[in-house]
Structure 1
Amino acid sequence: MTEQFVIELTQSLKNFLPEVSLTITLSLVILLDLIFGRKFKNIGAFISLAGLVVTLFFTVKQYGGNYQIFRGMFVVDPYSTFFKFVFIISALVIVIFSLQSYELKETSARRRTGEYYFLILSLTLGAFLMAGSVNLVMMYLSLELVSISSYILAGYIKESERSSEASMKYVIYGALSSGLMIYGISLIYGLTGELNIYALNASLLSTGYSPIVLMISLLLMLAGFGYKISAVPFHYWTPDVYEGAPITVTAFLSVSSKAAGFAMLIRFLKASFIDRTVTLGVEGAWAIIQGLPWTEIIAVLSALTMTVGNIIAIWQNNLKRMLAYSSIAHAGYILMGVVVAQNYGISAMLIYFIAYLFMNLGAFYCVMLVAEKTGSEDIEVYKGLGYRAPFLGVVFTIFLVSLTGIPPTFGFIGKLYLFSALINAKVIWLAVVGVLNSVISLYYYIRVVRNMFLRDPESEKASIAFSPAHIVVMLILVIPTLLFGVYFSPIVELAQNSVAMFGLR
Structure 2
Amino acid sequence: MMMLPEFYLLFFSIIFLFFSIGKGRVNVFPWAKILSLIGLVATLISINARGSLFSGAYKIDLFSQVFKALVMCGLVFVIFMLDKRDEIEEKYRCEYFMFLGLSTLGLMMLVSSVELVSIAISLEISSYSLYAIVPLRKGQTRMQLEASMKYLFFGAISTGVMLYGMGYLYGMTHSTFLSNIMVALPKFLDQPIGILAVVLTMTGFFFKLSLFPFHFWSPDIYEGASNTTTTFIATVPKLAAVALLMRIATLACPAEPAFVTILIVLSALSMTLGNLVGLVQKDVKRLLGYSGIAHAGYVLMGILAMTKDGNASAIYYMAVYLFMNLGCFYVVLLLSKSGENVSVNDLAGLAKRAPLLAFTLAVSAFSLAGIPPTGGFTGKLFLFTNAFKEGHLAIVIIGAVNTVISIFYYLNLVRMSYSREPAGVERIDLSIHEKALCYLLIFLVLYMGIMPFGFMQVFRAAV
TM range (shorter): over 0.9
TM-score after normalising by structure 1: 0.87
Give the counterpart of 2:35 among 20, 26, 48.
48
- When residues 346 and 208 of structure 1 are mapped into structure 2, their CA distance, relative to the original with a 3 A threshold, is closer
Structure 1 residue 230 corresponds to structure 2 residue 197: no
Following TM superposition, by how much is the alpha carbon of 1:100 offset from its aligned partner in structure 2, in angstroms?
4.1
Tell me the alpha carbon deviations over residues 69-117 of structure 1, each in whole angstroms, 9 at most, x when there is no partner.
Answer: 210111111111111111010000011112243313xx22xx1411111
1:194 — aligned with what?
175
The SS at the match of 2:59 is strand
Tell me the amino acid that sits aligned with residue 191 of structure 1: M
Structure 1 residue 136 corresponds to structure 2 residue 120: no
1:283 — aligned with what?
none
Q: Distance in 1 between matches of 2:387 and 2:171?
A: 35
TM-score after normalising by structure 2: 0.95
Q: Distance in 1 between matches of 2:138 and 2:258?
A: 44
Following TM superposition, by how much is the alpha carbon of 1:61 offset from its aligned partner in structure 2, in angstroms?
4.2
Following TM superposition, by how much is the alpha carbon of 1:212 offset from its aligned partner in structure 2, in angstroms?
2.7
1:306 and 1:332 in contact (8 A); partners too: yes
Tell me the amino acid that sits aligned with residue 218 of structure 1: V
1:29 and 1:118 in contact (8 A); partners too: yes
1:489 — aligned with what?
453
Structure 1 residue 146 corresponds to structure 2 residue 126: yes
Structure 1 residue 117 corresponds to structure 2 residue 94: no
5+ unaligned residues in a row in structure 1: which ranges?
1-13, 275-286, 500-505
1:28 and 1:47 in contact (8 A); partners too: no
Q: Distance in 2 between matches of 1:58 and 1:386?
A: 40
1:468 — aligned with what?
432
Q: Distance in 2 between matches of 1:83 and 1:200?
A: 23
Give the counterpart of 1:82 among 66, 69, 86.
66
Following TM superposition, by how much is the alpha carbon of 1:39 offset from its aligned partner in structure 2, in angstroms?
3.6
Tell me the alpha carbon deviations over residues 374-397 of structure 1, each in whole angstroms, 9 at most, x when there is no partner.
Answer: 955111111112112112112211
Please identify the structure whose Cα radius of gyration is greater.
1
Tell me the amino acid that sits aligned with residue 185 of structure 2: L
1:288 — aligned with what?
255
Following TM superposition, by how much is the alpha carbon of 1:373 offset from its aligned partner in structure 2, in angstroms?
7.6
- When residues 263 and 411 of structure 1 are mapped into structure 2, their CA distance, relative to the original with a 3 A threshold, is same
Give the counterpart of 1:454 among 416, 419, 439.
419
Q: Distance in 2 between matches of 1:219 and 1:416?
A: 27
1:273 — aligned with what?
252
1:68 — aligned with what?
52
- When residues 259 and 37 of structure 1 are mapped into structure 2, their CA distance, relative to the original with a 3 A threshold, is farther
1:25 and 1:47 in contact (8 A); partners too: no
Tell me the alpha carbon deviations over residues 111-148 of structure 1, each in whole angstroms, 9 at most, x when there is no partner.
Answer: 14111111111111111111111111111111111111
Structure 1 residue 25 corresponds to structure 2 residue 36: no
The SS at the match of 2:52 is strand
Following TM superposition, by how much is the alpha carbon of 1:56 offset from its aligned partner in structure 2, in angstroms?
2.0
Tell me the alpha carbon deviations over residues 12-60 of structure 1, each in whole angstroms, 9 at most, x when there is no partner.
Answer: xx52222112112211221144337514343651453254234324433
Runs ≥4 residues deviating over 6 A: none
Tell me the amino acid that sits aligned with residue 266 of structure 1: M
The SS at the match of 1:372 is coil
| Aligned CA-pair RMSD | 1.9
Tell me the alpha carbon deviations over residues 138-166 of structure 1, each in whole angstroms, 9 at most, x when there is no partner.
Answer: 11111111111111121122741232221
Tell me the amino acid that sits aligned with residue 170 of structure 2: Y
The SS at the match of 1:482 is helix
Following TM superposition, by how much is the alpha carbon of 1:208 offset from its aligned partner in structure 2, in angstroms?
5.7
Q: Distance in 2 between matches of 1:77 and 1:441?
A: 36
Q: What count of residue pairs does the alignment treat as equivalent?
A: 462
Tell me the alpha carbon deviations over residues 394-417 of structure 1, each in whole angstroms, 9 at most, x when there is no partner.
Answer: 221111001111111111111111
- When residues 457 and 32 of structure 1 are mapped into structure 2, their CA distance, relative to the original with a 3 A threshold, is closer
Structure 1 residue 183 corresponds to structure 2 residue 183: no
Q: Distance in 1 between matches of 2:77 and 2:152?
A: 26
1:360 — aligned with what?
325
Tell me the amino acid that sits aligned with residue 425 of structure 1: E
2:197 — aligned with what?
217
5+ unaligned residues in a row in structure 2: which ranges?
none
1:358 and 1:480 in contact (8 A); partners too: yes
2:313 and 2:383 in contact (8 A); partners too: yes
2:402 — aligned with what?
437
Following TM superposition, by how much is the alpha carbon of 1:210 offset from its aligned partner in structure 2, in angstroms?
7.9
1:257 — aligned with what?
237
Tell me the amino acid that sits aligned with residue 144 of structure 1: E
Q: Distance in 2 between matches of 1:468 and 1:294?
A: 50
Q: Distance in 2 between matches of 1:40 and 1:474?
A: 25
The SS at the match of 1:232 is coil
- When residues 100 and 398 of structure 1 are mapped into structure 2, their CA distance, relative to the original with a 3 A threshold, is farther
Q: Distance in 2 between matches of 1:359 and 1:334?
A: 15
The SS at the match of 1:400 is helix
Following TM superposition, by how much is the alpha carbon of 1:219 offset from its aligned partner in structure 2, in angstroms?
3.0
Give the counterpart of 2:273 among 284, 304, 308.
308
